[in-house]
Structure 1
Amino acid sequence: MAPDLNWELRLGFLVHDVSRLRRRVVDRALKPLGVTRSQWWVLAFLSRSDGMSQVALADELDLGKVALGQLIDRLEKTGFVSRRPDEEDRRVKRIYLTKRSHALIAQIRDNVSVTEKEILERIDEADLKATVRALRGMKENLLTMTGDNEDVEDSDAA
Protein backbone atom coordinates (compact mmCIF):
# COMPACT_ATOMS: atom_id res chain seq x y z
CA MET A 1 0.00 0.00 0.00
CA ALA A 2 1.35 3.45 -0.92
CA PRO A 3 2.23 5.86 1.88
CA ASP A 4 -0.47 8.40 2.73
CA LEU A 5 0.91 11.68 1.41
CA ASN A 6 -2.31 13.59 1.81
CA TRP A 7 -2.98 13.35 5.55
CA GLU A 8 -4.13 16.99 5.68
CA LEU A 9 -7.08 16.15 3.42
CA ARG A 10 -7.80 13.03 5.44
CA LEU A 11 -7.79 15.14 8.61
CA GLY A 12 -10.53 17.32 7.13
CA PHE A 13 -12.62 14.25 6.33
CA LEU A 14 -12.01 12.84 9.81
CA VAL A 15 -13.09 16.07 11.52
CA HIS A 16 -16.18 16.18 9.29
CA ASP A 17 -17.03 12.51 9.95
CA VAL A 18 -16.64 12.90 13.72
CA SER A 19 -18.86 15.99 13.68
CA ARG A 20 -21.51 14.30 11.53
CA LEU A 21 -21.55 11.13 13.66
CA ARG A 22 -21.65 13.16 16.89
CA ARG A 23 -24.69 15.07 15.62
CA ARG A 24 -26.40 11.78 14.78
CA VAL A 25 -25.71 10.32 18.23
CA VAL A 26 -26.80 13.55 19.98
CA ASP A 27 -29.97 13.62 17.86
CA ARG A 28 -30.76 10.11 19.08
CA ALA A 29 -30.11 11.11 22.70
CA LEU A 30 -32.41 14.13 22.39
CA LYS A 31 -35.22 12.37 20.49
CA PRO A 32 -37.08 11.48 23.73
CA LEU A 33 -37.28 15.21 24.48
CA GLY A 34 -39.20 15.78 21.24
CA VAL A 35 -36.72 18.32 19.92
CA THR A 36 -35.17 18.32 16.45
CA ARG A 37 -31.55 19.08 15.64
CA SER A 38 -32.48 22.45 14.18
CA GLN A 39 -34.46 23.34 17.30
CA TRP A 40 -31.84 22.30 19.84
CA TRP A 41 -29.15 24.02 17.81
CA VAL A 42 -31.07 27.32 17.89
CA LEU A 43 -31.79 26.93 21.61
CA ALA A 44 -28.15 26.11 22.31
CA PHE A 45 -26.92 29.25 20.54
CA LEU A 46 -29.48 31.40 22.31
CA SER A 47 -28.55 29.88 25.67
CA ARG A 48 -25.07 31.33 25.16
CA SER A 49 -26.22 34.64 23.70
CA ASP A 50 -29.88 35.28 24.43
CA GLY A 51 -31.44 38.14 22.50
CA MET A 52 -29.44 37.71 19.31
CA SER A 53 -30.85 39.39 16.26
CA GLN A 54 -32.46 37.03 13.80
CA VAL A 55 -29.87 38.01 11.18
CA ALA A 56 -26.92 37.34 13.53
CA LEU A 57 -28.43 33.99 14.54
CA ALA A 58 -28.86 33.02 10.88
CA ASP A 59 -25.18 33.87 10.28
CA GLU A 60 -24.04 31.86 13.32
CA LEU A 61 -26.07 28.84 12.28
CA ASP A 62 -25.13 29.25 8.60
CA LEU A 63 -28.82 29.23 7.69
CA GLY A 64 -30.76 31.35 5.27
CA LYS A 65 -32.94 34.06 6.77
CA VAL A 66 -36.13 32.47 5.45
CA ALA A 67 -35.26 28.99 6.76
CA LEU A 68 -34.38 30.42 10.17
CA GLY A 69 -37.54 32.54 10.16
CA GLN A 70 -39.66 29.42 9.68
CA LEU A 71 -37.76 27.61 12.42
CA ILE A 72 -38.23 30.56 14.80
CA ASP A 73 -41.96 30.56 13.88
CA ARG A 74 -42.22 26.92 15.01
CA LEU A 75 -40.24 27.55 18.21
CA GLU A 76 -42.39 30.58 18.94
CA LYS A 77 -45.62 28.59 18.44
CA THR A 78 -44.40 25.95 20.92
CA GLY A 79 -43.51 28.66 23.44
CA PHE A 80 -39.74 28.18 23.47
CA VAL A 81 -38.73 31.58 22.07
CA SER A 82 -40.19 35.01 21.59
CA ARG A 83 -39.41 37.68 19.02
CA ARG A 84 -39.10 41.26 20.16
CA PRO A 85 -38.17 44.39 18.27
CA ASP A 86 -34.75 45.85 18.99
CA GLU A 87 -34.96 48.88 21.31
CA GLU A 88 -32.86 51.05 18.99
CA ASP A 89 -33.92 49.76 15.57
CA ARG A 90 -37.49 48.46 15.42
CA ARG A 91 -36.79 46.77 12.06
CA VAL A 92 -34.43 44.37 13.85
CA LYS A 93 -36.04 41.36 15.51
CA ARG A 94 -34.31 39.88 18.53
CA ILE A 95 -34.91 36.31 19.62
CA TYR A 96 -35.23 35.53 23.32
CA LEU A 97 -35.59 32.30 25.23
CA THR A 98 -38.75 31.87 27.28
CA LYS A 99 -39.06 30.41 30.77
CA ARG A 100 -40.37 27.22 29.18
CA SER A 101 -37.22 26.80 27.11
CA HIS A 102 -34.89 26.98 30.13
CA ALA A 103 -36.21 23.66 31.47
CA LEU A 104 -35.78 22.06 28.06
CA ILE A 105 -32.25 23.44 27.72
CA ALA A 106 -31.36 21.95 31.12
CA GLN A 107 -32.63 18.56 29.91
CA ILE A 108 -30.73 18.93 26.65
CA ARG A 109 -27.52 19.69 28.55
CA ASP A 110 -28.03 16.68 30.85
CA ASN A 111 -28.64 14.32 27.92
CA VAL A 112 -25.71 15.72 25.94
CA SER A 113 -23.42 15.45 28.98
CA VAL A 114 -24.20 11.75 29.33
CA THR A 115 -23.71 11.26 25.60
CA GLU A 116 -20.38 13.15 25.59
CA LYS A 117 -19.08 10.90 28.37
CA GLU A 118 -19.96 7.85 26.26
CA ILE A 119 -18.33 9.37 23.18
CA LEU A 120 -15.12 10.14 25.06
CA GLU A 121 -14.80 7.00 27.16
CA ARG A 122 -11.70 4.91 26.53
CA ILE A 123 -9.84 7.96 25.16
CA ASP A 124 -6.80 8.97 27.17
CA GLU A 125 -7.11 12.37 28.90
CA ALA A 126 -3.76 13.55 27.54
CA ASP A 127 -4.92 12.72 24.01
CA LEU A 128 -8.14 14.63 24.58
CA LYS A 129 -6.29 17.69 25.85
CA ALA A 130 -3.92 17.61 22.86
CA THR A 131 -6.88 17.26 20.50
CA VAL A 132 -8.67 20.23 22.07
CA ARG A 133 -5.50 22.35 21.81
CA ALA A 134 -5.07 21.39 18.15
CA LEU A 135 -8.73 22.05 17.29
CA ARG A 136 -8.67 25.42 19.07
CA GLY A 137 -5.54 26.32 17.12
CA MET A 138 -7.25 25.34 13.87
CA LYS A 139 -10.33 27.35 14.85
CA GLU A 140 -8.19 30.41 15.61
CA ASN A 141 -6.41 30.08 12.25
CA LEU A 142 -9.73 29.67 10.42
CA LEU A 143 -11.25 32.68 12.19
CA THR A 144 -8.22 34.74 11.21
CA MET A 145 -8.50 33.51 7.62
CA THR A 146 -12.21 34.36 7.45
CA GLY A 147 -11.82 37.69 9.22
CA ASP A 148 -14.27 36.75 11.95
CA ASN A 149 -13.76 38.40 15.31
CA GLU A 150 -15.40 35.56 17.21
CA ASP A 151 -13.96 34.54 20.56
CA VAL A 152 -11.68 31.57 20.03
CA GLU A 153 -12.69 29.84 23.28
CA ASP A 154 -14.68 26.73 22.57
CA SER A 155 -18.30 27.32 23.56
CA ASP A 156 -20.34 24.21 24.30
CA ALA A 157 -23.42 24.46 22.17
CA ALA A 158 -24.80 21.06 22.95
Structure 2
Amino acid sequence: MNQQAQLPTRKKKASAPADNAAPQNREEGWDQRLGFLMHDVSRLRRTAYDTYMKPLNITRSQWWVLIYLARHDGMIQSDLAKLLELGKAALGGLIDRLEASGLVRRGADDSDRRAKRIYLSAAGTKLIKEMQVRSDQMNERILAGLNAEDRENLTDLLTRVKRNLQAIVRDNE
Protein backbone atom coordinates (compact mmCIF):
# COMPACT_ATOMS: atom_id res chain seq x y z
CA MET A 1 0.00 0.00 0.00
CA ASN A 2 1.40 3.36 -1.03
CA GLN A 3 1.27 5.85 1.82
CA GLN A 4 1.92 9.51 1.17
CA ALA A 5 2.76 12.14 3.74
CA GLN A 6 -0.22 14.30 4.52
CA LEU A 7 0.33 18.02 4.15
CA PRO A 8 -1.17 20.23 6.84
CA THR A 9 -4.58 21.48 5.88
CA ARG A 10 -6.28 24.69 6.80
CA LYS A 11 -8.85 24.38 9.57
CA LYS A 12 -12.23 25.52 8.36
CA LYS A 13 -13.94 28.26 10.33
CA ALA A 14 -17.63 28.84 10.69
CA SER A 15 -17.52 31.89 8.44
CA ALA A 16 -14.86 31.21 5.83
CA PRO A 17 -13.61 34.25 3.89
CA ALA A 18 -14.32 34.56 0.20
CA ASP A 19 -11.71 33.08 -2.15
CA ASN A 20 -10.48 36.53 -3.10
CA ALA A 21 -10.19 37.76 0.49
CA ALA A 22 -6.73 38.48 1.90
CA PRO A 23 -5.35 35.52 3.85
CA GLN A 24 -5.07 35.79 7.61
CA ASN A 25 -1.32 35.68 8.28
CA ARG A 26 -1.73 35.14 11.99
CA GLU A 27 -3.34 31.74 11.55
CA GLU A 28 -1.38 28.75 12.68
CA GLY A 29 0.97 27.52 9.97
CA TRP A 30 0.78 30.63 7.78
CA ASP A 31 4.54 30.64 7.29
CA GLN A 32 4.46 27.10 5.93
CA ARG A 33 1.60 27.98 3.57
CA LEU A 34 3.55 31.06 2.44
CA GLY A 35 6.52 28.86 1.56
CA PHE A 36 4.33 26.47 -0.41
CA LEU A 37 2.60 29.38 -2.16
CA MET A 38 5.90 31.00 -3.17
CA HIS A 39 7.22 27.65 -4.40
CA ASP A 40 4.04 26.93 -6.37
CA VAL A 41 3.97 30.40 -7.96
CA SER A 42 7.62 30.05 -8.99
CA ARG A 43 7.15 26.54 -10.36
CA LEU A 44 3.98 27.42 -12.28
CA ARG A 45 5.59 30.56 -13.71
CA ARG A 46 8.57 28.54 -14.95
CA THR A 47 6.27 25.94 -16.50
CA ALA A 48 4.12 28.60 -18.18
CA TYR A 49 7.17 30.42 -19.55
CA ASP A 50 8.71 27.19 -20.83
CA THR A 51 5.50 26.43 -22.72
CA TYR A 52 5.15 29.99 -23.99
CA MET A 53 8.77 30.16 -25.22
CA LYS A 54 8.79 26.69 -26.79
CA PRO A 55 7.93 28.00 -30.31
CA LEU A 56 11.16 30.03 -30.18
CA ASN A 57 13.19 26.83 -29.64
CA ILE A 58 14.92 28.24 -26.58
CA THR A 59 15.38 26.67 -23.16
CA ARG A 60 15.05 28.56 -19.90
CA SER A 61 18.80 28.26 -19.29
CA GLN A 62 19.56 29.65 -22.75
CA TRP A 63 17.03 32.42 -22.16
CA TRP A 64 18.88 33.53 -19.00
CA VAL A 65 22.25 33.55 -20.73
CA LEU A 66 20.87 35.69 -23.54
CA ILE A 67 19.13 38.09 -21.15
CA TYR A 68 22.33 38.65 -19.15
CA LEU A 69 24.25 39.22 -22.37
CA ALA A 70 21.61 41.68 -23.56
CA ARG A 71 22.28 43.69 -20.41
CA HIS A 72 26.07 43.19 -20.35
CA ASP A 73 27.26 42.13 -23.79
CA GLY A 74 30.83 40.91 -23.92
CA MET A 75 30.90 39.42 -20.43
CA ILE A 76 33.75 37.11 -19.50
CA GLN A 77 32.42 33.55 -19.48
CA SER A 78 33.56 32.81 -15.90
CA ASP A 79 31.86 36.00 -14.62
CA LEU A 80 28.66 35.00 -16.39
CA ALA A 81 28.86 31.56 -14.75
CA LYS A 82 29.03 33.20 -11.31
CA LEU A 83 26.08 35.48 -12.01
CA LEU A 84 23.97 32.58 -13.24
CA GLU A 85 25.18 30.34 -10.41
CA LEU A 86 26.29 27.71 -12.92
CA GLY A 87 29.44 25.67 -13.09
CA LYS A 88 31.92 26.67 -15.76
CA ALA A 89 31.41 23.38 -17.62
CA ALA A 90 27.61 23.70 -17.55
CA LEU A 91 27.77 27.24 -18.88
CA GLY A 92 30.34 26.17 -21.46
CA GLY A 93 27.85 23.64 -22.83
CA LEU A 94 25.11 26.26 -22.97
CA ILE A 95 27.42 28.68 -24.78
CA ASP A 96 28.44 25.91 -27.20
CA ARG A 97 24.78 25.31 -28.11
CA LEU A 98 24.01 29.02 -28.41
CA GLU A 99 27.09 29.49 -30.57
CA ALA A 100 26.12 26.53 -32.79
CA SER A 101 22.68 28.14 -33.20
CA GLY A 102 24.31 31.40 -34.27
CA LEU A 103 22.95 33.35 -31.28
CA VAL A 104 26.27 34.21 -29.61
CA ARG A 105 29.94 34.28 -30.44
CA ARG A 106 33.04 33.89 -28.32
CA GLY A 107 35.88 36.37 -28.47
CA ALA A 108 39.26 36.74 -26.81
CA ASP A 109 39.74 39.12 -23.90
CA ASP A 110 42.31 41.83 -24.65
CA SER A 111 43.94 41.65 -21.22
CA ASP A 112 43.74 37.87 -20.51
CA ARG A 113 44.27 35.40 -23.35
CA ARG A 114 42.75 32.58 -21.29
CA ALA A 115 39.46 34.42 -20.74
CA LYS A 116 36.68 34.27 -23.31
CA ARG A 117 34.17 37.04 -23.77
CA ILE A 118 30.67 36.20 -24.94
CA TYR A 119 28.86 38.48 -27.38
CA LEU A 120 25.35 38.44 -28.77
CA SER A 121 25.08 38.00 -32.52
CA ALA A 122 22.54 39.86 -34.65
CA ALA A 123 20.38 36.71 -34.56
CA GLY A 124 20.66 36.64 -30.76
CA THR A 125 19.60 40.27 -30.51
CA LYS A 126 16.62 39.60 -32.80
CA LEU A 127 15.60 36.57 -30.72
CA ILE A 128 15.76 38.61 -27.51
CA LYS A 129 13.29 41.10 -29.00
CA GLU A 130 10.91 38.25 -29.81
CA MET A 131 11.42 36.79 -26.33
CA GLN A 132 10.65 40.17 -24.75
CA VAL A 133 7.37 40.49 -26.66
CA ARG A 134 6.35 37.01 -25.51
CA SER A 135 7.50 37.74 -21.96
CA ASP A 136 5.44 40.95 -21.83
CA GLN A 137 2.38 39.04 -23.09
CA MET A 138 2.91 36.33 -20.49
CA ASN A 139 3.35 38.85 -17.67
CA GLU A 140 0.07 40.51 -18.65
CA ARG A 141 -1.67 37.14 -18.37
CA ILE A 142 0.03 36.39 -15.05
CA LEU A 143 -0.98 39.75 -13.58
CA ALA A 144 -4.51 39.81 -15.02
CA GLY A 145 -6.95 41.26 -12.52
CA LEU A 146 -4.30 43.31 -10.70
CA ASN A 147 -4.51 47.06 -11.11
CA ALA A 148 -1.44 49.30 -11.36
CA GLU A 149 -1.31 49.86 -7.59
CA ASP A 150 -1.57 46.12 -6.89
CA ARG A 151 1.24 45.44 -9.35
CA GLU A 152 3.45 48.10 -7.78
CA ASN A 153 2.75 46.77 -4.27
CA LEU A 154 3.46 43.20 -5.36
CA THR A 155 6.75 44.26 -6.93
CA ASP A 156 7.76 46.22 -3.82
CA LEU A 157 6.90 43.37 -1.46
CA LEU A 158 8.69 40.74 -3.53
CA THR A 159 11.73 43.00 -3.81
CA ARG A 160 11.88 43.33 -0.02
CA VAL A 161 11.50 39.57 0.44
CA LYS A 162 14.28 39.02 -2.12
CA ARG A 163 16.60 41.41 -0.27
CA ASN A 164 15.88 39.64 3.01
CA LEU A 165 16.69 36.29 1.42
CA GLN A 166 19.89 37.67 -0.11
CA ALA A 167 20.96 38.93 3.33
CA ILE A 168 20.31 35.50 4.84
CA VAL A 169 22.41 33.85 2.14
CA ARG A 170 25.24 36.37 2.62
CA ASP A 171 25.14 35.92 6.40
CA ASN A 172 25.47 32.16 6.03
CA GLU A 173 28.36 32.14 3.54
Q: Same fold (TM over 0.5)?
A: yes
Q: 1:91 to 1:107 in 2, by over 3 A?
A: same
Give distance in 1, aligned partners of 2:109 and 2:167: 30
TM-score when normalising by structure 2: 0.77
SS of equivalent residue, structure 2 residue 61: helix
Q: Which runs of 5+ in 1 are unaligned?
A: 149-158
Higher relative contact order (Cα pairs below 8 Å, separated by 6+ residues): 1
**Alpha-carbon RMSD:** 2.0
Residue 18 (1) aligns with residue 41 (2): yes
Q: CA deviation at 1:77?
A: 1.0
> For 1:27-38, what aligned pairs fall within 5 Å after superposition?
27-38=50-61
Give distance in 2, aligned partners of 1:62 and 1:20: 18
Can you list the C-alpha shifts for 1:54-100, whole angstroms capped at 9, x where unaligned?
11211222221111101100111111111112221121111111111
Equivalent residue for 1:156? none
Q: CA deviation at 1:39?
A: 1.3
> For 1:100-119, what aligned pairs fall within 5 Å after superposition?
100-119=123-142
Q: Which runs of 5+ in 2 are unaligned?
A: 1-10, 13-25
Equivalent residue for 1:154? none
More helix by share: 1
Equivalent residue for 1:95? 118
- 45-54 vs 121-130, which moves further: 121-130
TM-score when normalising by structure 1: 0.83
> What amino acid sits opposite 1:7 in the alignment?
W
Q: CA deviation at 1:125?
A: 3.0
Q: CA deviation at 1:147?
A: 4.0
Residue 51 (1) aligns with residue 74 (2): yes
Q: CA deviation at 1:113?
A: 0.8
The count of corresponding residues between Structure 1 and Structure 2 is 148
Equivalent residue for 2:152? 129
- 68-77 vs 40-49, which moves further: 40-49
> What amino acid sits opposite 1:92 in the alignment?
A
